Every structure is written in C-alpha cells, then in structure tokens.
Amino acid sequence: MDAIEKAIRNALEKGNAEDRAFRERVYRAAFSALDRALKANPDVTVELAIKRRKAIQAKITEIESEFLPAVPDVGPRGDAPAIELGADSAPAVETGQQAPSPAAVDEPVQSAADTPRSASDAPRSRVLPVVPDIMPDAALPDAPSIDMSAPTPAGAAAEVAPDRDERRIRGRRLPLTAIFLTVTLLAAVGIGLFFAVQTGVFKTQAQLDTAPPQAPPTVDDDDFTPAEGGPAKPGAADQAHDWINVFSPTDASHVSAPSDAKAEVMKDDTGSFLRIRSGASGSAISFDVGQGVLEKLAGKHAVFDIIARSEEGKETQISVDCNFGELGDCGRKRYAVGQQQNEYLFDVKFPDKRPGSAGTIAINSDFDKQGKAADIYEIRVSVEP
C-alpha cells in the first residue's frame, strides 16, 4: 500500500466510509493536501505535479470501486458494455441502452426471468466507480486531515519529462551572460589602455618633453622676473655697470641677525664672505642700504647684484625682500643658489622723490626652513643709463 492510498484509507476510517458524501469530503481533502504539498516544494516541476494528481485520482477511483454495489449483467454476453457513473451518480451505459434509475445502484436487481437473486450472488458488470469533482474549491471543516507531503513512490519521478521551468532555463543562461559581460568589459579596458599608451597618459613630464634640454631656472620671482633672467658669472656685469657698494665682508657692522639666526665672517681660497644661516622661524638677515645710496637711486632704474654661493655640499634657495622707505620695495625674490659663486641680479624702478631714511635688504638663507646656510660675498647696485 503506497503513501497516497494509506493516507486516504486512514481518513476514511475516521468516519462513516459507507456515506458517499463523507467519502467525497475525504477525496477533496486529499487533493487539498496534495496542492499544499506541491506549493510548499518549489523544486516540483509542472510535469511531476500533473503526474502526482493523476496518481491520486487513480487511487481514489480504485478505492471508490470497493463501495459500489454489485450490478447484474445486462448484456447478452459476459463482456457486457461498461457503465460509468457520472457526477450525479447515474450510470451511463456505453451501448446506448437506457440507463437504470439511481435506485438500481443501491438495491438488488432482478434478472430477466424475475428470479430473485442476492446482490452478492449477482455477477458484476464492468462498472466504473464515480470519481466526483474533488478539486479543492472551498474549505471542508468536517473532513479528516490528510498529510500528502510524503514522497512519491520510487520510479515515479523517473518518467517525468525534462524540466521546462523558465526560471531554471534563465538560471542556466546566467553564466553565458556573465561571460559576455566580462569579455565586453575586458575589451573596453584593453581599448582604453591602448589609447592611453598611444596618447602618452602614462609618460612622465620628462618623456613628454622632446625639446632640447635647458638649464633649470635659478630664480623664482614672486612679483616679477629680473631683466637678466638669473645669476651671472662673477665679473660678467662689471663691464656694463658702475657699481655702488652696499655690503662688503670687510665691514659687517651694517648687518643685523635676529636671535635665532647667525651671521659670521669667514674666509677661504675664494676670498672673504659672510656666512648667514636663518633660524627655524625663517627669520632673515638684514643688510643696511644707506640713505646716501638711496638718494643716488631716486628717480632712476637701478640693478642690484648679490654675489653668493651655498654652503659646501648643500644647495639652497634664498629669498630676498627690500624696504627702501619712501622709495618703496623690490618685491620678494627667490633664487636657487648652488655651490659655485654666482651673481644674482634684480632691478628696481625708483620713484623720483627724496628718501627720508636708509633702507634694508633682507636675505633668508633657506626658504625651505631646513637650516641651510648661504655665503654672501658682496651686495652692490648700479644705475641704468
């Protein structure tokens, strides 16, 4: 006895199985339980669900046949035509004969010779049991509960056709979609990298600069670029200018160094120089520009020349600021100073007025505030013709 038959028979034993209405309720409950079991299992395919419905319908037909009364053979031969009961319990005769009344199903039937015969002794015809319409369409509160979640007999699923569930088909296509998207993205990235290489995105500035190499600029002027454009070799500007001395190491009395800065006169084979070292705060060393010098420059275009070098082994950047009192200033200048002695020039256009006092030139020996020193050999100025 399989699980379907056992479940239905157990339900019939809980009530009056001879009552046809009760049996119908049991059959309806069986189908309801089957529907719940199928819905609870998402892996059940449409083909398998149909197969299980046909299996339960066959079992119901088989069980219902046991409750039918014996029917006499109404045909002339032993293989009389089959009678199938409809939904209204009235049997239909396949040969076209008139169907007997409903009472013929429930009561013994007399033979053609009017000889009484018991129902149990009467030969049975091929009568098909009534299988009522038991698809679940309403709740049955008085029907026994039936558990149809048990698996189908072995071999039942083996005959099921291939799964045609569209969701499963789409699931199997996902890898192909993923592969296509991956290949497309890789191709796009490859094309992008190719054009990036061709256009020089990954090249350095030096690789992109195909012009002839040039000397790095040594002057960084915050306000303007000096006319000479940078340092000149010592003596190169002497031929074109008459210089007025502003500072010389032989007279360092006109130099002022803040508390965290140093200024020391030194000498080596290049001559005497003043080694200045700005403090951690970036304070500058001031060089006085006498009032008499400024009177000579008033209303003129002047060129200042600072002859300097960096401390041995330590290149530095110096910054220069000027305060000429009523004659204005020179703006901030910045120079990259190497270990070789050079001239660092800047020019100033002075207004035509009388200066009321002396001025100053302030030099910071290390613009990056790393404590580097600069050697100042001379500061001088000349007037452009």
In this predicted model, what pLDDT tens digit does every residue of 356-384 receive, in sequence order? 899 999 999 998 888 899 999 999 999 98
Q: Between these two residues, 214 and 255, which has the higher pLDDT value?
A: 255
Kindly state the average pLDDT of the residues 162-189. 71
pLDDT tens-digit series, residues 319-338: 999 999 999 999 999 999 99
Query: Rounded to a whole number, what is the distance in angstroms from the first to the last CA of the chain?
Result: 128
Say how far residue 166 (Cα) sits from the centre of its chain: 30
Q: Own/partner pairs for 45-54, CB < 8 Å, 24+ apart?
A: 45/160, 45/163, 45/164, 45/165, 46/164, 46/165, 47/160, 47/161, 47/163, 47/164, 48/152, 48/157, 48/160, 51/152, 51/156, 51/157, 51/159, 51/160, 52/152, 52/156
When mean pLDDT is compared across 39-53, 82-96, 157-171, 190-204, the lowest value belongs to 82-96
pLDDT value at residue 170:
52
The whole-number pLDDT of residue 222 equals 53
Burial of 380 from C-beta contacts in 10 A (0-12 / 13-18 / 19+): buried
Q: Which range has highest mean pLDDT (125-129, 175-179, 211-215, 341-345)?
A: 341-345
Which of 110-124, 175-189, 352-366 has the highest average model confidence (pLDDT)?
352-366
| 48 contact partners, CB below 8 Å, separation of at least 6 | 152, 157, 160
Residue 123 has pLDDT above 70, yes or no: no
Rounded Cα distance, 100 and 330, in Å: 132
